[in-house]
Structure formats: C-alpha cells, structure tokens
Structure 1
C-alpha cells in the first residue's frame, strides 16, 4: 500500500543521496498492487513512454461524491515508481480537484528532472496529460 503523498514528499526531502532516492522510488513502485491483466488494455496504455505503462482511471462514488480510483503498472521498475507517485498524487481526488493538479510540479519538486532520461520525463508528462484529460472529462 502506498503512503500518502505528503509522506512520500517528506521522505524524498530527507533523502539526499541520488542512489537512495532511486531506491525509494523503486520501492514505491513495488508497493503498487498488481494491475489485473484485463486492465492492461490499449485504452489504458500511456503512449509516449519508453516502457510499457498502463493507468486505469475509474470513478468511485461515496456519500454522493465522485472520486478517482487509479491503478497502474509499468514493466520498468523506475517508471513503476513514477506511476506510484502519480497514483499517490491523484487517487481519491474528485475529478475537479485532479483537473487542477499539475503532476509535473511534483516531478520538479522532487528534483527528478535533471536525473532522469528525457524519454522517462516524456513518459511522466504523458501520464500527467492522460490523467488530466480524463479528470477534465469526468468533471464535466
């Protein structure tokens, strides 16, 4: 189970060693529950990633409030960690709240931009764009 996004941010702020930061990112990816094969569809595939990435975005309703329920997977350990970051950031938000969040800000805040290949950065951008697009559509 993933820790709350605030805890994740605090943990990254404590760890200064780049190798340990990547290890923590990989650990977050390992904490993701397996994505069922039936959700690894082309509709859930995030295009623009060097690795294979799937994110399923569903809506759950409780007490009359719709909230996003995200699941994801990647065949790359590092990218799976980025998927975990996006899930921790957006999961449980209303579609309107999610539409107002810029996941790239989290990526920059955690200082991954300079230490990650451009293809992985493009993959994160593709994840954020997809989540934002679906959130805007679901908020309408």
Structure 2
C-alpha cells in the first residue's frame, strides 16, 4: 500500500468513533500493536527531541524500504508514534520525504492534543522524515 492509502485507512478508522475519548482509547490500542524497538536501540541517540515523554525511534533500510520500530514511556504518545510508524514504515525514503501529513489534521489529532504533545507530534514527523533524507542520500 502507498502512504496515501494507509493514511486514508487511518482517517476512515478514526471517523468511526463519535468522540475523542473513543479515539484516545483506539490510539492506546494502536500503541499496543506497535512494532517495538529492540532494547539495544533505546539509546539517547534514538530519543526524539522535543517530546515531553520519552520516544525512541529506530530506522533501518530493508530492500530499499525504510522500516521503523519505536516505543514510548507514555501510552498516548505510544499511540501517536504507532500511527506514524504505520503510515511511513515499509516505504521508500523518497516516498516518506514526499508524503504530506494532512491526515493528522483530518483525524483532528493536533487540535485534541495538549500543546506539548502537539509539539512532540511535529518532532516525531520531522525525525521520521530526517531518517528518510539520510537513507535517501545513501541510496543515491
């Protein structure tokens, strides 16, 4: 699936819920299904700067696709990174670089997060895209 198709799927899933408490519960469930980062990658170098809670992300190239694993010490934040990993993992670095993130606005995520979590969300997206840039440079 393309990034856009995955993002559309996520938007459809979130639209099934009537209120934000249900959406938060769903995000927590998504966090439980997150491909977890190995403990050896839970290092200072893999912590996303700008997040109030700790979020670790590891990226590696497999068959010219970027594969992300992640974890967080906070359940809502873990759900947020799970959504991003789902949207961007197993895609080419160039596709990740070119992808927009308007699906975040479509599900209403940013407006329902505290300002510190919203800043963390922006930092997570930025970090995933920086990984993509770094790996795309290696491919060229």
TM over 0.5: yes
The CA distance in 1 between the partners of 2:100 and 2:74, in whole Å, is 23
Q: Which runs of 5+ in 1 are unaligned?
A: none
The CA distance in 2 between the partners of 1:52 and 1:121, in whole Å, is 14
1:36-89: CA deviation from partner (whole Å, max 9, x where unpaired): 21010111110100000001011101xxxx001000000110000001011011
The TM-score with structure 2 as length reference comes to: 0.88
Q: Which moved more, 1:27-36 or 1:124-133?
A: 27-36
* Structure 1 residue 106: Cα displacement: 2.4
* Aligned equivalent of 1:133, options 127, 130, 133: 130
Match of 1:42 in 2: 44
Match of 1:16 in 2: 18
The CA distance in 2 between the partners of 1:106 and 1:73, in whole Å, is 22
The TM-score with structure 1 as length reference comes to: 0.88
1:120 aligns with 2:128: no
Cα–Cα, structure 1 residues 91 and 33, in superposed 2: closer, same or farther, change >3 Å?
A: closer
Root mean square deviation, CA, Å: 1.3
* Structure 1 residue 34: Cα displacement: 3.2
SS in 2 for 1:9: helix
SS in 2 for 1:57: strand
**Aligned ranges for residues 21-36 of structure 1 at < 5 Å?**
21-36=23-38
SS in 1 for 2:103: helix
The CA distance in 2 between the partners of 1:33 and 1:60, in whole Å, is 15
* Structure 1 residue 6: Cα displacement: 4.0
1:4-37: CA deviation from partner (whole Å, max 9, x where unpaired): 5543321101112111010001100011143221
The CA distance in 2 between the partners of 1:45 and 1:39, in whole Å, is 9
SS in 2 for 1:49: coil
SS in 1 for 2:49: coil
Q: Which runs of 5+ in 2 are unaligned?
A: 1-5
> How many residue pairs were aligned?
132
Match of 1:69 in 2: 67
